[in-house]
């Protein structure tokens, strides 16, 4: 029984350590807020806007409006593998938030809700 408890404790410790180390690597959005930036709305467990165009080479403020009672965020990644984070917004419930996305090179990027990973979209940087 002691061995079982020890094993379960170790599993929990490893899981929580892995989670904490991932949190530390999240990029922190910063910079002045631009009220004219694009808006992404989350409603009925989906993004109403699945393609967002932004300008290349400058910081952009992304306005996020979560109209659901479920928690959502906008997390931008290099591509759909979601392995390289670019900008991770705060997870909010029934609220709005602003997220400063760092200057990006022209190209196509992937965004999703980190809670509901089936909620996805594309950011086109021109």
Q: Which residues bind another protein (CB under 8 A)?
A: 1, 4-5, 8-9, 11-12, 14-16, 18-20, 22-23, 45, 68-71, 73, 91, 114-118
Rg (CA), the chain: 17
User: What span, in angstroms and rounded, lies between the C-alpha atoms of 67 and 87?
Assistant: 21
User: What span, in angstroms and rounded, lies between the C-alpha atoms of 74 and 37?
Assistant: 14
Residue 95 CA, chain-centre distance (Å), reads 15
In the bound state with another protein, the residue whose beta carbon lies nearer, of 8 and 55, is 8
- Residue 43's beta-bridge partner residues? 46
Least distance from another protein to the Cβ atom of residue 90, Å: 8
In the bound state with another protein, the residue whose beta carbon lies nearer, of 26 and 53, is 26
In the bound state with another protein, the residue whose beta carbon lies nearer, of 34 and 97, is 97
């Amino acid at each position: 029984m002691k061995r079982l408890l020890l094993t379960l404790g170790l599993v929990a410790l490893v899981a929580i350590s892995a989670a904490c180390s991932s949190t530390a690597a999240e990029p922190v959005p910063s910079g002045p807020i631009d009220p004219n930036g694009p808006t992404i709305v989350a409603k009925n467990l989906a993004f109403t806007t699945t393609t967002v165009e932004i300008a290349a080479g400058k910081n952009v403020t992304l306005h996020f409006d979560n109209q659901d009672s479920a928690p959502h965020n906008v997390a931008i990644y290099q591509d759909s593998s979601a392995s390289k984070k670019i900008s991770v917004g705060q997870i909010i419930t029934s609220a709005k938030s602003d997220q400063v996305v760092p200057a990006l090179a022209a190209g196509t990027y992937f965004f999703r809700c980190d809670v509901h990973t089936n909620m996805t979209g594309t950011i086109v940087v021109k």
